[in-house]
Amino acid sequence: MTDKPITRQAPKETNVKTALRVIEIIEIYAKECRPLALSELAKLLNAPMSSCLALIRTLVSLGYLYETNRRAGYYPTGRLLAMAQKISAADPILERIYPSLEELRNITNETVVIGKLHNNQKVLYLEVLPSANPIHYVAMAGEQKEINANSLGKALFSTLGNDEKEEVLSHLPFHAFNTKTIAGKVAFLADIEQSLQRGWFGNFGESIPDVGALAWPVKLSGSYYAISIAGPLYRIQANLEDFAQKLRVISTFIEKSA
């Protein structure tokens, strides 16, 4: 009887590591913004040349990278951007509310961010609409922030049930970024209560000096999100009540229409 061929599968750890390498390559190009030789990529990835070469060849064959000139290095093609834009345009939540986020950004001339809790441990930025102002808050979708030092985090925390709040608090590191950071449970809960009463959740230099933000939660398709207006601290404080009113109006409109 003929033995059946044995099909071997790559260990899950290897698959995960390869996927991580691809993401790291994308982030490296976003940071470097220039063609990179194989040796440079291997060094930046802290990976063996052989492993890096195999990965680069795969990405080239799939049309995601191309060799700019022989031995001059590799650079991403427009395929990556096209795929990202297609995915983003079909986001089931963002495609419904994006016009409202744009309006909020335009009427405040400050950066607008929408976020969601990630595993009840961090705030995940889902989309960032940067201000056209030369001096503005800069962030990227996909960034994760500490709940206690972020206006979105505070707004989202307020939507949790009591048991969920206790669970989150038990794992919060309350890392102090500076002297303005709320670094304790009692002070944090007091800030949440005060924020609910006044109608906005704030962050005034608690994570990044000279950067301010205010946020408010919105419920979409049964899940809670939060929207923030962020910018230089002096501008946020000078327009606090006006921005807070605009934020609540847009948030209410989104909940009723989305």
**Segment 48-65, tens digit of pLDDT:** 999 899 999 999 999 999
* Distance, CA of 36 to CA of 69 (rounded, Å): 11
Mean pLDDT of 216-238: 97
Share of the chain above pLDDT 90, in %: 78
pLDDT score of 13: 64
Which pLDDT tens digit goes with each residue over 149-169? 999 999 999 999 999 999 999
**Does a structural domain hold residue 3?**
no
Residue 92 is predicted with a pLDDT of: 81
Q: Which is more confident, 155 or 88?
A: 155
* pLDDT reading at 35 higher than 70: yes
- pLDDT for 89: 76
Q: State whether 220 and 108 are in the same domain.
A: yes
Kindly report the average pLDDT of the chain as a whole number. Answer: 91
Q: What is the pLDDT of residue 19?
A: 87
- Regarding whether 96 and 74 lie in a shared domain, the answer is no
pTM above 0.75, yes or no: yes
What is residue 88's predicted lDDT score, i.e. its pLDDT?
A: 78
Q: Say yes or no: 199 and 230 in one domain.
A: yes
One domain for residues 71 and 96: no
Residue 203 has pLDDT above 60, yes or no: yes
**CATH code, 143:** 3.30.450.40
Is residue 5 domain-resident?
Answer: no
Q: How many domains does the chain have?
A: 2
Confidence of residue 120 (pLDDT cuts 50, 70, 90): confident
Query: How high is the pLDDT of residue 205?
Result: 97
Domain that includes residue 44, residue range: 12-80
Does residue 98 sit in the same domain as residue 225?
yes
4 domain-assigned: no
Mean pLDDT of 20-36: 92
Domain presence at residue 173: yes
- The predicted pLDDT at position 172 comes to 93
Q: Encoding tokens for residue 119?
A: 């595993």
Whether residue 6 has pLDDT greater than 60: no
Do 205 and 102 have their domain in common? yes
